[in-house]
Structure 1
């Protein structure tokens, strides 16, 4: 037993004895005799309580063997009641013959004595069970948090290479054309790497940082597709100190670029809007769809699926994601309570 636990038990017995001494003495006002009676019962109470606490409780009750636990506890109380009754009769009656009714062989007297011994057992075992349950719940919560954090790290490890892969492809394509945009894209890639190393590992980041990453990504994609895409962005300049998970906003825009420009010959349109209204972040991304939809045999994108999983882990029911897939447009509206 730890020191703190030992002092808890000592304090329990002192308080328990004091309370029951007062209760016992309230009938006749004889505090000395009441204290002697409580001290007389103390050894057997200690034996019963700690036999139950160290043997029966962990071996049966905490193992789910409830019937055996109560059976052995009842037998222990019966034996203890019998022994205590005899001890009271042999010892206490010598000094305080008027304190106790010594019908030692009456069955209900044994039951009465057993209940006197059982009273602290009920209290301390009840407290112990509550304590054990609280510890188990705390441990379960810790394990669950560790599991969630591991899953979040796994999902992020999928997202980061996904961004880098697309960006490197962009730079490679433009480098073949000796484009003057290549240095700018390399600088954007550097920003992505910096974000990946220092920001995306955090559980939450400032919304302002995520917006900066979003703007960089949009600029990168616009430079790649030139005049093939028209992007309209509506984001307020002043954002309060709001925190969100990293890499939440960008994948929706990435998805919009990917699907609005696939097999499209005319200009694609993308609309991005972010606002904070009444403690709720509202994020909308809408993109036009190609005139002709060609079946895509490539693996399904991991971005949106990961975002949904991360939102479920981080926000549970504190967010809402609406997706509308119409004939000419595809849109998402994400609402997060911040």
Structure 2
């Protein structure tokens, strides 16, 4: 199973938004308000190059929020992060201001209308550089620190959530692999016994059941490694599974009702429905008494899937039966990952029957 990939995730969008809204709009507006009173300053967007100026003044924060903050947060060194932040702001911000103001002042002639602005900013940055822990332009520095630190914290929180999601996904994949390894030997052993009995009797349907077994094992081995498989393939697998079990318990009644409009375009995670069926065959009364039943119903209407499995139950008061195993917890976790807000699974049990109902919406 593979995680879905996106061209741009939320931290990238958030970071781009900070640069566009805060740097290119807010800081541009701040610096354009400091320009001398000249005709162009009365326009709606006076001196567009101040956007580039604001960007250059903010570039020094990139290593801070992309490298320094994540490293300290990852090691939980919060006090160290505070000290590094003070030193970084005290020295790097002033060095950056000096370099940027000198660069923009140098490319402007003294007769240029923005030269006085850059010259004033250059002089201000020189005066600020004389002091180590003072002389900052707090109007800009505080908002810079808040805006760019928020990018780092958003990225850190998002990466932690993605890491947790990946670990949960990997853990679920391991459980799913265990489920497959449990299914294959158990199912293969029982089915081979049934086929062996047929062969001893010289039954004409022996080749058919061999082919059914082959198709089912092929589905388990190859399709179960995919993230999604066509729903019609899963239906065929479940029908074959039901037919195999019916052969093992000929005195019981197993039914599979389909009410499907069109499943050609629908896909679901492989073997998603199997634990519900396996649970019915594992705990159903057909293992102990004749005339038992397992009824499956699969309905698809307007992109909604409803799957139910009902089986008769034989309760021995001397023994305590537990419903489930690795199968039901596995399907719950897979449903939460694949259909976090579009699924519902209900389990109902009384004295003589057990019912499992699964609903998936907006497939």
Name the TM tier (shorter chain).
0.5 to 0.7
For residue 175 of structure 1, what is the aligned residue in structure 2? 196
1:233 equivalenced with 2:246 (yes/no)? no
Structure 2 CA distance for partners of 1:76 and 1:319, relative to 1, 3 Å = same
Q: 2:66, 2:152 within 8 Å by CA — same for their partners in 1?
A: no
Q: Which residue of 2 aligns with 1:305?
A: 329
CA deviation map 1:145-202 (0-9, x unaligned): 4324322321221222233222322322541561425433322221122112321111
Between stretches 234-243 and 321-330, larger displacement belongs to: 234-243
2:210 aligned residue? 186
Which stretch shows the higher mean deviation, 209-218 or 165-174?
165-174
Residue 213 (str. 1) matches residue 237 (str. 2): yes
User: What is the aligned counterpart of 2:33 among 12, 23, 28?
Assistant: 23
Q: 1:115 to 1:287 in 2, by over 3 A?
A: same
Q: Report the Cα distance in structure 1 between the residues aligned to 2:169 and 2:321, rounded to whole angstroms.
A: 33
Structure 1, 320-329 or 67-76: larger mean CA deviation: 67-76
RMSD, aligned CA = 4.8
1:87 aligned partner: none
Question: Helix, strand or coil for the counterpart of 2:34?
Answer: helix
1:82-121 correspondence runs (5 A): 114-115=136-137, 119=140, 121=141
Q: Cα distance, 1:291 vs. partner?
A: 6.1
Q: In the TM superposition, what is the alpha-carbon distance from 1:279 to its structure 2 partner?
A: 3.9
Q: How many pairs does the alignment contain?
A: 298
| Residue equivalent to 1:161 | 181
When residues 60 and 214 of structure 1 are mapped into structure 2, their CA distance, relative to the original with a 3 A threshold, is closer
Structure 1 CA distance for aligned equivalents of residues 85 and 150 of structure 2 = 17
Rg larger in structure: 1
Q: Please list, as runs of the form range in 1=range in 2, the aligned pairs for 1:42-121 lying within 5 A after superposition.
A: 50=60, 63=72, 64-65=78-79, 67-68=82-83, 71-72=86-87, 114-115=136-137, 119=140, 121=141
Asked if structure 2 preserves the Cα contact closer than 8 Å seen for 1:156 and 1:200, the reply is: no
Cα gap change, 1:187 to 1:168, in 2 (>3 Å): farther
| Unaligned ranges ≥5, structure 2 | 1-18, 42-46, 73-77, 99-110, 124-130
Shift in alpha-carbon separation, 1:294–1:206, aligned structure 2, 3 A: farther
- Verify the 8 A CA contact 2:252 2:293 in the aligned structure 1: yes
Counterpart in 2 of 1:224?
248
Q: Distance between the aligned counterparts of 2:310 and 2:93, measured in 1?
A: 76
| Residues 262 and 305 (structure 1), Cα distance of their counterparts in 2 relative to 1, 3 Å cut | farther
Q: Partners of 1:55 and 1:223 in 2: how far apart?
A: 68
8 Å contact kept, 2:195–2:209:
no
1:286 corresponding residue in structure 2: 310
Q: Distance in 2 between matches of 1:156 and 1:225?
A: 27
TM-score normalised to structure 2 length: 0.64
